[in-house]
């Protein structure tokens, strides 16, 4: 293909001369600063959001052919570049960087700027580019028009000029057209029904099972992912009725007809031979008269969702004050105080020995407050390596450190926004981070690691410690100003030895609960044995008593035989373990580790030196119930 074989190339080169472009130019005449680029990205947020899945799909097809995918705005400003590290590096060497303007007026003839000027898909290869730094590239660009037909951006595939192929331009043009259709669909929902083929092409790129059905349950369309989750092909499911798939179809239908829309609820669906639990959302498809005649059913794999949820531990408070056990007079006063301060915005410091139920109190305070429907996010400052606590708390921006995820990641403060952040073992927080925590409490803003933008947050902080923080302050292990800022509303939980009158209550509660969970008989206890339990100091507090009850159930009461040697039996369980099976010992150990690490699956698996999947199998095997 000759240098001037295309008329539009010749005309573009002439314009480049008029614009005063230098053939030896090394970069665009206009490149935005980081802050200007951030503002530009915010302005083009909808375009980026809509285009991203198509860009990923396009890159998937060409990733082995050394191409990069570029998204521009209507002026040719590069919004993002997708490609492997080697190709990204090559692109940066030739001035293809986010924020660079690729319009002809800034860098001459090229696939992006010329496509925007011509208003149509086109390909510029090798020396057809005006500046020499692009002579090694072939660029296929296609403009993207919004719902009014006005150009709002450009999609481009750039690669080595040896890879020039007309099919590349076809792929880009098709992807750009799909993005245009999506932009139109977002504004004109009624076009969904009239664009069935288009919808199918979009939903087949999503990792969700999607089908549409009318109010009689007739299924009209389904995407390919339906087979991965439900086991039926799209063709098979379209011959079925929604009532053949969804349990309680009539109940679901009644809710929808009463405008009680279903949003990410766990339900059961029927398969050929069994049933599985999935996450279901139902959305209306409305016509021009705002009438709903058809529905979109979106099904997510519950197991995958739970795995993702496990990455953010403690995102929902489950304990409430009515589940808190105790009749001890001083303990009940503590309980009443906790209820009174539940709605306060001030920080709470819960003090008490390990095993006294500090997190149960924290969650109960959350559920007794007006924040009960918001997030409850827990972070154990003593269970995370010191060099990771900062990024866990405050998050990080892209490129903040080696291994940082693309796009960055929010921290616990952002995840807890609007709700409560529970900082367990606050006394273990590194001294250098205590200043940052104090600033967040006082100013209500955070900055991600590696970032400069201040992010306002509304988070109620509840801290807990088993240490004497006053002594830690005197030892200069803990900041005095942070201590007094946390200790606004102090709650001290008594140890079990200080409320021995409650031991029979705990015994009955744990015996009832664990015997059902273990599917074993309850072990009866007499007055002498109760006195024996109350004579022991229980250094591990309620958690130690709970574990002991489980041991008694598993061994059918063996530890109670020598009631006068309680301390010896509890302190040296090997005597009891000799009569337990290997499975019983393993089950008890797993449950203890889960409790110790607050049911954090990843951390528990790591400390047990087994994989997460192995731990899940053992949890299923032993019927261990997670909170």
- What's the CATH code of the domain at 299? 3.30.450.20
Q: What is the pLDDT of residues 450-471, one digit of tens each?
A: 888 787 888 999 999 999 999 9
Q: Are residues 144 and 58 in the same domain?
A: yes
CA dihedral sign of residues 220, 226, 227, 229: negative
Q: Are residues 32 and 174 in the same domain?
A: yes
Q: 574 pLDDT exceeds 80? A: no
- Per DSSP, the three-state class of 383 is coil
Q: 565 pLDDT exceeds 60? A: no
DSSP count for the chain of H helices, then E strands: 28, 17
Q: Are residues 254 and 354 in the same domain?
A: no
Domain membership flag for residue 2:
no
Domain CATH for 587: 1.10.8.60
- How many structural domains compose the chain? 4
Residue 423 has a pLDDT of 93
Domain CATH for 25: 3.30.450.40
Confidence bin at 597 (pLDDT 50/70/90): confident
Residue 582 has a pLDDT of 67
Q: 311 pLDDT exceeds 50? A: no
Q: 1 pLDDT exceeds 50? A: no
Whether pTM > 0.85 for this model: the answer is no
Q: Are residues 418 and 541 in the same domain?
A: no
Which of 258-272, 347-361, 473-487 has the lowest average pLDDT?
258-272
- Per DSSP, the three-state class of 397 is coil
Neighbours of 322 (CB within 10 A): 8
Mean pLDDT, rounded, for 171-194: 77
Q: Are residues 465 and 393 in the same domain?
A: yes
Q: Are residues 437 and 415 in the same domain?
A: yes
Q: Are residues 124 and 228 in the same domain?
A: no
Domain membership flag for residue 609:
yes
Q: Are residues 49 and 162 in the same domain?
A: yes
Q: Are residues 273 and 416 in the same domain?
A: no
Domain CATH for 458: 3.40.50.300
User: And the tokens for 475?
Assistant: 């030892």
Residue entry with tokens 């472009």 = 21
Cα separation, 41 vs 115, in Å, equals: 21
Cα separation, 155 vs 111, in Å, equals: 10
Q: Are residues 335 and 249 in the same domain?
A: no
User: And the tokens for 483?
Assistant: 């201590």
Residue 299 has a pLDDT of 87
Domain membership flag for residue 585:
yes
Mean pLDDT, rounded, for 222-250: 86
Q: Which of 494, 527, 560 lies at the terminal end of a domain, its last residue?
A: 494
The candidate with the shortest Cα–Cα distance to 73, out of 177, 167, 158, 146, is 146
Domain membership flag for residue 227:
yes
Residue 519 has a pLDDT of 84
Residue 131 has a pLDDT of 95
Q: 235 pLDDT exceeds 50? A: yes
Q: Are residues 475 and 572 in the same domain?
A: no
Domain membership flag for residue 313:
no
Q: What is the pLDDT of residues 19-62, one digit of tens each?
A: 999 999 999 999 999 999 999 999 999 999 999 999 988 888 88
Domain range for 298: 204-308
Q: Tell me the pLDDT of the chain averaged across its residues.
A: 85
The candidate with the shortest Cα–Cα distance to 194, out of 283, 261, 281, 293, is 293
Instruction: Answer for the pair 615, 604: CB distance below 8 angstroms, yes or no.
Output: yes
Confidence bin at 2 (pLDDT 50/70/90): very low
Instruction: Answer for the pair 34, 67: CB distance below 8 angstroms, yes or no.
Output: no
Q: Are residues 473 and 581 in the same domain?
A: no
- Tell me which H or E stretch contains 326: none
Cα separation, 201 vs 195, in Å, equals: 10
- Tell me which H or E stretch contains 281: strand 275-286
Confidence bin at 562 (pLDDT 50/70/90): low
Confidence bin at 307 (pLDDT 50/70/90): very low
Which of 13-22, 34-43, 230-239 has the lowest average pLDDT?
230-239
Mean pLDDT, rounded, for 94-98: 89
For the chain, give the longest Cα–Cα distance. Answer: 103
| More reliable by pLDDT, 102 or 408 | 102
């Amino acid at each position: 293909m000759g240098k001037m074989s295309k008329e539009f190339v010749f005309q573009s080169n002439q314009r480049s001369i008029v614009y005063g472009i230098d053939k030896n130019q090394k970069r665009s005449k206009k490149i935005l600063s980081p802050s200007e680029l951030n503002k530009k990205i915010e302005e083009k947020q909808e375009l980026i959001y809509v285009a991203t899945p198509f860009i990923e799909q396009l890159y998937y097809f060409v990733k082995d052919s050394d191409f990069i995918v570029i998204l521009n705005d209507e002026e040719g400003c590069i919004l993002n570049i997708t490609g492997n590290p080697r190709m990204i590096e090559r692109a940066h060497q030739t001035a293809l960087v986010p924020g660079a303007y690729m319009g002809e007026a800034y860098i001459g003839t090229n696939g992006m700027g010329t496509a925007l000027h011509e208003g149509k898909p086109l390909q510029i290869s090798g020396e057809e580019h005006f500046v020499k730094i692009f002579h090694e590239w072939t660029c296929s660009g296609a403009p993207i028009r919004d719902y009014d037909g006005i150009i709002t951006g450009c999609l481009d595939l750039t690669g080595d000029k040896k890879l020039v192929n007309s099919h590349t331009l076809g792929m880009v043009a098709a992807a750009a057209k799909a993005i245009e259709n999506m932009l139109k669909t977002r504004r004109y929902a009624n076009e969904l029904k009239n664009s069935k083929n288009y919808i199918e092409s979009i939903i087949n790129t999503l990792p969700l099972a999607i089908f549409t059905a009318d109010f009689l349950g007739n299924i009209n369309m389904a995407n390919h992912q339906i087979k991965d989750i439900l086991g039926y092909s799209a063709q098979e499911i379209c011959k079925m009725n929604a009532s053949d798939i969804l349990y309680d179809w009539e109940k679901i239908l009644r809710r929808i007809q009463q405008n009680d829309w279903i949003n990410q609820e766990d339900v059961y669906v029927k398969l050929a031979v069994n049933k599985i639990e999935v996450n279901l959302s139902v959305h209306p498809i409305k016509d021009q008269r705002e009438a709903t005649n058809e529905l979109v059913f979106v099904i997510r794999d519950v197991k995958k969702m739970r795995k993702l949820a496990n990455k953010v531990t403690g995102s929902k408070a489950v304990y409430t004050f009515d589940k808190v056990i105790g009749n001890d007079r001083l303990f009940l006063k503590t309980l009443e105080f906790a209820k009174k301060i539940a709605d306060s915005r001030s920080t709470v410091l819960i003090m008490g020995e390990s095993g006294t139920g500090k997190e149960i109190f924290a969650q109960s305070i959350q559920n007794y407050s007006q924040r009960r429907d918001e997030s409850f996010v827990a972070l154990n400052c003593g269970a995370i390596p010191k060099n990771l606590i900062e990024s866990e708390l405050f998050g990080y921006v892209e490129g903040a450190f080696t291994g940082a995820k693309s796009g960055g990641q929010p921290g616990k403060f952002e995840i807890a926004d609007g709700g409560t952040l529970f900082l367990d073992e606050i006394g273990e927080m590194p001294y250098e981070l205590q200043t940052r925590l104090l600033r967040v409490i006082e100013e209500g803003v955070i900055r991600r690691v590696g970032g400069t933008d201040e992010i306002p947050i509304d988070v109620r902080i509840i801290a807990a410690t088993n240490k004497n923080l006053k002594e830690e302050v005197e030892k200069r292990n803990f900041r005095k100003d942070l201590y007094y800022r946390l200790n606004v509303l102090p709650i001290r939980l008594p140890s079990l030895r200080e409320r021995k009158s409650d031991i029979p209550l705990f015994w009955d509660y744990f015996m009832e609960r664990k015997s059902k969970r273990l599917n074993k008989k309850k072990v009866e206890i007499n007055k002498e044995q109760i006195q024996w339990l109350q004579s022991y100091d229980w250094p591990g507090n309620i958690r130690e008593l709970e574990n002991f009850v489980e041991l008694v159930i598993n061994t059918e009461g063996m530890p109670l035989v020598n009631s006068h040697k309680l301390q010896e039996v509890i302190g040296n369980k090997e005597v009891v373990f000799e009569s337990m099976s290997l499975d019983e010992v393993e089950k008890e150990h797993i449950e203890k580790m889960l409790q110790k690490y607050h049911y954090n699956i990843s951390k528990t698996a790591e400390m047990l030196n087994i994989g997460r999947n192995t731990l899940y199998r053992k949890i299923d095997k032993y019927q261990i119930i997670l909170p």
